[in-house]
Amino acid sequence: MSDTALDVAARIARGDSTAIDELEVCLGRIRQHDADINAVVTLDEAGAFAAARAADALRAAGGPLPPLLGVPMTVKDAFATAGLRTTASHPPLAHYVPATDATVVARLKAAGAVLVGKTNLPELASTPQCWSPLFGPTRNPWDTRLTPGGSSGGSAAAVAMGFSYIDPGSDIGGSIRIPAACCGVAGLKATENRIPRTGHIPHLPGGRRSVRHLLSFGALAPSVADLQTALAVLAGPDGRDVEVPRVPFRLAPPPGRPLRIAWWDAFGGLPLCRRTRAALARTVSALEAAGCVVERRCPEGFDVLKAWQAYGWIAGTEIGLGMPGLARRLIAAMDSFVTRDQPIAHAFVQGLALDAQRYSRALNTRDRMVRVLERFLDSWDTWLCPVACTVACPQTELVWWRRPPDIEVDSVPWPFVEAAIGMVTPFSLTGSPVVVLPAGVEDGLPVGLQFVGCRWQDEALLATCADIERVLGARPVPPRALTTDRWT
């Protein structure tokens, strides 16, 4: 069993360990393994030791302690870090050093976390793999031939390997959920606009903001309890992101009755690999055996094909508004080369045309889908679904001018975009909170499943997932991590 962020904080608070000790353990793991994994792209040992010494001094002084005192954290390189290089893997930002922290970074520091370094991502957090033009690929801790997922691939790999115990993530099309599933860690995509985006790239520093929908924030960590603490720290307005409402964090108790869990496995005709099917079936059986009410159900009127189209139109329009005009037009001109077996990619390219009527239709579809899903979840504690068609797949460098290679699902090729993000984008469209939990290891690779909740009810979803986590058991640890000293 691996440590959690709260385990580390508790050891430091009790005086059983120090922040310096815990930092040295994580740095030892990074030195031993990160040459193979390439998760941490900017290491700040001097700053981390200074923060750890300050944490130990605060502990020695007595008095109330912040919830993450001395806990080593890494930060996805899309979030600004004051005085520390922040690139978003975008070559023009290779030497960019912000003057201030992103809101999520400032809040985690205020909660006592110790920043160890920045983690890898694809350029501008743009793909569900993790290949950076500045730093190269991050490799999956379970099998270095495979992707850790993206865009928060470096974050998930770092947490899986114990390089850190928490890493804030961003998710517009599975960027927290896919890496969590690929690497075997817990992940939270909070309700859209629950956590401020201030200091996140994109948009580019000093640039105008164009993305107004679909993007959510959260964290990757070893356990649901860690995610509960992260949400309590991160949620709420910051006075700068004007779309974050005053929704106070209220820790939710367990339901106090058998959980009601709906599950589904059919998304627009997409297949599931044998590993994912086995883990899903085992999870359903385990939940039933634990006394939960579990039924295979889908919300009436939840049209996945329409959700994909609306998602693509909104994403294409809003991302396109932030692109240089020539680049946007060049990609939009590729519409005739996108085949009809690529509905998400096709809709995204259409969105780049910046058609106001099409954009308005997509937003109205989004409204309908939110209503359908919220009504459905009035009767269920969560909706359990796969994260993707398959577990971690081979790593690929993705470039905009070339169709990405198909993803093989049990040796059958499927279009890359749809196979990678087709099961996560409906919940990006609705802005719903989603927790990903590890559901075991199948043939040497972890399988993650996503649990969807009602909008603005993140705390209730996390309480439900804490009960589910107890049924599923402790998260799996990559075998290579077990070779590190003091892995408990």
Tell me how far CA of residue 160 lies from CA of 58, 163, 194, 438, 474, in angstroms.
29, 8, 26, 11, 13
User: Is the preceding peptide bond at 404 cis, omega within 30 degrees of 0?
Assistant: no
Q: Please answer whether residues 150 and 195 qualify as being in contact, where contact means their C-beta atoms are separated by less than 8 angstroms.
A: no
Q: Is 155 a catalytic residue?
A: no
170 is catalytic: no
Active-site entry in 2, 76, 152, 155: 76
Which residue type occupies 454?
C
Catalytic residue among 175, 216, 223, 428: 175
Compute the distance between CA of residue 270 and CA of residue 422 in angstroms, rounded to an integer.
8
- Rg for the chain, CA atoms, rounded: 21
Are the CB atoms for 151 and 408 separated by under 8 Å?
no
Helix then strand count (H, E) for the chain reads: 15, 15
* Composition of the chain by helix, strand, coil, percent to 5: 40, 15, 45
Q: Among the options 2, 126, 151, 223, which is catalytic?
A: 151
Q: Please check whether residue 222 is in contact with residue 431, taking contact to mean a CB–CB distance below 8 angstroms.
A: no
Establish whether 151 is a catalytic residue.
Answer: yes
Enter the DSSP assignment of 446. Answer: E
SS3 state at 487: coil
- 422 CB-near residues (< 8 Å, 6+ apart): 267, 268, 270, 304, 308, 344, 388, 389
- The secondary structure of residue 41, as a DSSP letter, is E
Active site residues: 76, 151, 175
